[in-house]
């Protein structure tokens, strides 16, 4: 059913963008009803405007807390035009017919983020605005609701193209957007009051992006988030579902390294990583770990990509390159492949949110992000032989890597270079054998290398296998009832072992 806008109730906190709307409505001879500051703004533009107080017969009271909450206002919004009983009551009580509601909400989240006082935050909990939004959206068969300036452009198009008329499909779209606004607002208020209690889960996000597909072409995929807050995309094709998974893994990994580092990831796991004085050297060492898997991977570094690094990286096909900055000469080289995605990491803080969410069954798992990083002071030497200073550096390097590798996981490293990993295995021995076999395939000498395990060794067999391969130092969390057997095996073979007390499962 087509509905012509004749009377508009307008009450907004933010006035930007409103002037153009008012001009179009005035051209269509729409009557204005408004409150306080919005009424003053409308009248300052030379338009007539009736105050809500004049309609209701009540002034704004309680310091402005109560302005629009009145039967004459909500009756004008909620009455059903097709319902005879409603029409009789509207006429009997002299209730105006309101066809358009334009309202926004007090900036609650912004006040919280800005560090407002408790009193300031509470006062930014909107009551009248949220009620107007819900009431108008409920009666969308008769009323058009605009709940955010983000919808102004769509409203302008409707006013200009349809001359102030809307059909039910139009009004239903605006109602959907209105409930998106109100649900997100309520979720933010709940999270503020709930704090860290996690008594219930309320997640809201207004930005959604449909992806080409999900993990596979037959699956739909969507991204809900604020990608542009974290990255600036300088070049390349549209980012896919799988790209996003790998980008997330890459950022989480590189965040644990302070010195110049570069990693190559494939299917969320590092297939190459190294710390070196320059990005180019780090790339060469990372690539050497597995030049086969590097094809089509994700490359991430925590330093500016210069021309020398770009010249070294450019010949290899990879999906995404992430860095905090790029020299112009480097971009000139990297841009030569049109589909290559080049990202500038703008905000690591925005990328690493404190909580992680994962859907499971008909619910969701929520946990703190694993921010634990071990230093030399956290290591407990449990063997007769202590690791050398060089081995200690490699152990800490390997421990950071194993933290970001799918369990069961084993990482072998030497001279701050990933030599090989065993990941996603059902036994720790299988993970170790996979890593040793891979190291041999790429002709790495494991003598003097170190081993990191994401969890304790249930038996001494892994330590025995590692020793025979040439590994001289081991880092693990400890905590097995058979720890003594692993320690004894190390002591017998002259292998150093340290424990951290921190398990790094990643499933």
Considering 138, 150, 346, 385, which one is annotated as catalytic? 138
Contact 56, 63 (CB under 8 A): no
Q: Which residues pair with 420 in a beta bridge?
A: 412
In sequence order, what DSSP letters do the residues of 256-305 get, joined into one string?
Answer: T--SSEEEEEETTEEEEEEE-SSHHHHHHHHHHH-TTTTTTEEEEESS-B
Residue 103 CB partners (closer than 8 Å, separation 6+)? 9, 10, 11, 12, 129, 132, 133, 136, 145, 146, 147
Q: Of 237, 341, 346, nearest to 299 (Cα)?
A: 341
Q: Alpha-carbon distance 176 to 55, whole Å?
A: 28
Peptide bond into 408 cis (omega under 30): yes
Among 141, 235, 267, 346, which one carries the catalytic annotation? 267
8-state DSSP, 51: E
Which residue spans within 380-489 are E strands per DSSP? 380-381, 410-413, 418-422, 450-453, 473-476
Tell me if 421 sits within 8 A of 443, measured CB to CB: no
Which SS3 state, helix, strand or coil, does residue 203 take? coil
Q: Which two tokens stand for residue 67?
A: 């302005």
Burial of 44: CB neighbours in 10 Å, binned 0-12, 13-18, 19+? exposed
Asked if 267 is an active-site residue, the reply is yes
Q: What DSSP designation does 61 have?
A: B
- Residues labelled catalytic: 138, 267
């Amino acid at each position: 059913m087509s509905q012509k806008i004749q009377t508009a109730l307008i009450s907004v906190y933010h006035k930007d963008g409103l002037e153009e709307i008012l001009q179009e409505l005035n051209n269509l001879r729409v009557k204005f009803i408004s409150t306080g500051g919005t009424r003053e703004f409308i009248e300052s533009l030379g338009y007539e405007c009736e105050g809500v107080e004049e309609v209701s017969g009540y002034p704004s009271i309680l310091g402005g807390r109560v302005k629009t909450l009145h039967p004459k206002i909500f009756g004008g919004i909620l009455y059903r035009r097709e319902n005879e009983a409603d029409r009789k009551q509207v006429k009997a009580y002299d209730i105006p017919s309101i066809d358009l509601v334009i309202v926004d909400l007090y900036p609650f989240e912004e006040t919280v983020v800005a560090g407002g006082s408790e009193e300031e935050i509470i006062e930014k909990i909107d009551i009248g605005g949220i009620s107007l939004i819900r009431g108008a959206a409920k009666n969308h068969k008769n009323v058009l609701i605009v709940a955010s300036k983000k919808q102004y452009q769509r409203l302008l198009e409707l006013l200009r193209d349809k001359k102030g008329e809307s059909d039910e499909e139009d009004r239903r779209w605006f109602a959907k957007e209105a409930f998106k606004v109100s649900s997100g607002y309520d979720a933010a208020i709940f999270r503020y009051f709930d704090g860290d209690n996690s008594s219930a889960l309320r997640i809201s996000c207004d930005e959604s992006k449909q992806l080409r597909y999900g993990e596979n072409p037959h699956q739909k995929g969507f991204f809900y988030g604020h990608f542009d807050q974290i990255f600036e995309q300088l070049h390349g094709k549209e980012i896919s579902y799988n790209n996003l998974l790998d980008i997330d893994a890459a950022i989480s990994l590189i965040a644990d390294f302070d010195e110049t580092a570069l990693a190559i990831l494939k299917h969320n796991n590092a297939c190459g990583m190294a710390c070196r004085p320059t990005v180019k050297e780090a790339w060469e060492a990372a690539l050497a770990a597995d030049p086969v898997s590097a094809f089509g991977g994700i490359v991430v570094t925590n330093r500016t990509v210069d021309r020398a690094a770009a010249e070294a990286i450019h010949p290899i096909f990879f999906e995404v390159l992430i860095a905090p900055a790029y020299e112009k000469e480097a971009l000139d080289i990297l841009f030569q492949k049109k589909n290559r995605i080049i990202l500038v990491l703008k905000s690591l803080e925005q990328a690493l949110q404190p909580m992680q969410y994962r859907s499971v069954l008909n619910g969701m798992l929520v946990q703190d992000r694993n921010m634990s990083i071990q230093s030399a002071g956290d290591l407990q030497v449990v063997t007769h032989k202590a690791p050398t200073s060089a081995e200690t550096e490699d152990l800490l390097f390997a421990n950071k890597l194993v933290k970001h590798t799918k369990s069961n996981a084993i990482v072998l490293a030497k001279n701050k270079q990933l030599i090989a990993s065993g990941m996603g295995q059902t036994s720790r021995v299988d993970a170790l054998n996979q890593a040793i076999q891979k190291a041999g395939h790429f002709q790495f000498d494991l003598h003097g290398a170190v081993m990191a395990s994401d969890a304790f060794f249930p038996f001494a067999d892994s330590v025995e296998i590692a020793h025979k391969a040439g590994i001289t130092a081991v880092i693990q969390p400890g905590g097995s009832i058979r720890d003594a057997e692993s320690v004894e095996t190390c002591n017998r073979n002259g292998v150093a072992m340290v424990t951290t007390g921190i398990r790094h499962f990643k499933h």
